[in-house]
Amino acid sequence: MLRLYVAGAAPNSLRAVTNARAICEGQSAPGFELEIVDVLKHPRRALADGVLVTPTLLRVSPLPTLKIVGSLSDKDQVLLMLVAK
């Protein structure tokens, strides 16, 4: 379960959305669900999760929680991190 926090239509955030989707829909990804939360619209949710910088990708499950900050430009690297224990 992944949660991506974005800041509206900011360039980094848009890139992150694209990249995150690509990772999730890719073959090597073991069925991650992606939820996209707009910080501008739902600030409290961001605070609750301790998210400040955008974009931030939160791996809610499997534990442990992982936060990846940034536009996720290096998709392979991100994938590696997501699947690692």
Say which amino acid occupies 9: A
Among residues 49, 46, 63, the alpha carbon closest in space to that of 6 is found at 46
Burial environment of residue 69 by CB neighbours within 10 A (0 to 12, 13 to 18, 19 or more): middle
Residues 4-63 close enough to bind another protein by CB under 8 A: 5-8, 10, 12-13, 15-16, 19, 39-40, 43, 46-47, 50-57
Nearest residue (CB) to another protein, 11 versus 30 = 11
Binding site for another protein (CB under 8 A): 5-8, 10, 12-13, 15-16, 19, 39-40, 43, 46-47, 50-57, 64-74, 77-78, 81
